Structure 1
Amino acid sequence: MFDADRVSAVTFDSYSTLVDVDSVEQALADRVDDPTPVSRLWRARSLEYTLVANHVDAYQPFYEMNRDALTYALDVHDVDVSEAERDDILATYHELDVFEDVRESIERLHDAGYPCHVVSNGNPEMLDSMVEHAGIGDLLDGVVSAHEVETFKPAAELYEYAAEQVGEPTEELTHVSALWLDVQGATHAGLQGVWLNRENGPWEPFDGEPTLEVPSIRAFADRLLGG
């Protein structure tokens, strides 16, 4: 059960939580007849690569993981693009669409005295552009990248490291994410894990429930602030 009284700071995932990874379909649509399956495979493989990397010591920055995943997705769907075109598609990750409730909700938390941080698999350059594009740099107290520990989610090491950077114990942090494995990783590490279920989908049928489920970041802010 979610306990607002023990929240000293809030951390947010980035991709699919603050910015919409599905917006890459526009860049794909200029080169692919049916961009949706390519986009979905790209995203799935990108996450799968990070999970495998944690176990076989094959770390590389997330941007490079994303590049490899895009290459694979294009190859599977027999899409022939030049290296320059592939890089143009990949570059859309620097300017993904921002969900409409992001700035308003984080501003409410910030103004209420809750330090807000981003904790992401993205490497620092990706996160710098994401924060700038989202227009939330003035509201954040910090950004933590998996690159700093060369370990991806859902490894406990990343959340524990994030807690050190935030300066609060894990049990006083609440992590908000649209990614189920991120929520599970956070709760496993001792944080309260909030599942941002924008798509109104089912929760994964193993390893317990999220601490809290919300349809939007606005709804999370309402719950934390008692509005």
Structure 2
Amino acid sequence: MTHSAYVFDAYGTLFDVHAAVRRHAGEIGPDGQALSEIWRAKQLEYSWVRTLMGSYRDFWQLTEEALDYAFLKVPTADPALRGKLLDAYWRLDCFPEVPAVLAALKAAGGRIAILSNGSPAMLESAVKSAALDTVVDEVFSVDEIGRYKTVPDVYEMVTTAWRLYPQSVSFQSSNRWDVAGAHKFGFRTVWINRTGQPDEYRDHPPALILPSLNGLEAL
């Protein structure tokens, strides 16, 4: 093991952000995928815009607002499902390989953390429902600083709390923009490209690209 700390983004990397809509796909109808994609895209857009203009709202508020927008964009989806979808978001499925990979990294002596835009309550619920609370050493939420990724202060929360140099941290995210921000800060980065997206931000390249977390424990 070459890194003393393994830090993971949460949504899209450990937890499937589309699981909430998929859980109620039968009630939503044929446009469920479109609803889910708009929901996620707006959730992220709101985080970036609010950070740029210095008007922070926690990630749960942005999640609610993004879903409301998605319902307006997808009129075939019944807004009466709002409560069910938001409830499901508190208990998103983790990807199948996540528990075993994190356990293997921890067993090999690594410290395991989550660094996420999510609010503390959201992250606590997700970690517990996925039974990851026994392997995750610490959860860092941007709520502590009131700004979202990719501002450097977000990544600095880890190095400050754990008294580490950035290069001793291996950071994993499925979001290419997050990988770029972490690389700029100085982390060793691994892009978990689950959906085969084309590369971007080529001036801030990942050290490694993997289709899932599998194989990370062998490096």
TM-score between the two structures when normalised by the length of structure 1: 0.90
| Structure 1 residue 74: Cα displacement | 0.6
Q: Which residue of 1 aligns with 2:200?
A: 204
Query: In structure 1, which of residues 54, 65, 76 is the aligned counterpart of residue 62 of structure 2?
Result: 65
2:96 partner letter: E
For residue 88 of structure 1, report the CA deviation from its aligned partner. Answer: 2.1
User: In the alignment, what sits opposite 1:213?
Assistant: 209
Percent identity, please.
Answer: 32
2:79 maps to which of 78, 81, 88: 81
Q: Give TM-score scaled by structure 2 length.
A: 0.93
Deviation of the 1:216 alpha carbon: 1.8
Give the alignment partner of residue 130 of structure 1, picking from 126, 132, 140: 126
| Residue 115 (structure 2) aligned to one of 113, 119, 142 | 119
Deviates more, 1:133-142 or 1:116-125: 133-142
Deviates more, 1:118-127 or 1:212-221: 212-221
Any gaps of 5 or more consecutive residues in structure 1? none
Is 1:100–2:96 an aligned residue pair?
Answer: yes
Q: Matched residue of 2:79: which SS?
A: coil
The runs of at least 4 aligned residues of structure 1 exceeding 4 Å deviation read: none
CA RMSD across the alignment? 1.5
1:208 positional shift: 3.4
1:165-207 CA-partner distances (Å, limit 9, x unpaired) = 2331222111101111111111111111110112233211543
Query: Does the Cα contact within 8 Å between 1:62 and 1:123 map onto a contact in 2?
Result: yes
Please state how far the C-alpha of 1:27 moved relative to its aligned partner: 4.4
- Structure 2 stretches of 5 or more lacking a match? none
CA contact (8 A) 1:197 1:215 kept: yes
Name the aligned partner's letter for residue 193 of structure 2.
N
